Structure 1
């Protein structure tokens, strides 16, 4: 039985399945950069909210993808 990760990798070989996932890659890179930058600078979400003027709940949603 395939693990979920292995099944996803196999399915991603199908162009129709892979296209929507690939379309999200730029957004995922931006979110990862925000999270990594915040963590590298030892900032909490609340501190980032204070610096950017973006409400903390919106930063949380951005980071979690919801």
Structure 2
């Protein structure tokens, strides 16, 4: 069974996941990156990059 995670296409991920496939997490959605959960190094890179982006967005909204 293929286990995968859909990740929104943030600009910061363009260099991290350039070869990742894309797909729609649900019908009518925009394309998101589709990451294989068995590639732990890629998952860690994505999580680290997104944590910085999402933390900065959280601070701006306050």
TM-score between both structures, scaled by the size of structure 2: 0.35
TM-score between both structures, scaled by the size of structure 1: 0.34
The structure in which a higher percent of residues are strand is 2
Flag the structure with larger Rg.
Answer: 1
Higher relative contact order, chain-length normalized (CA < 8 Å, sep 6+)? 2
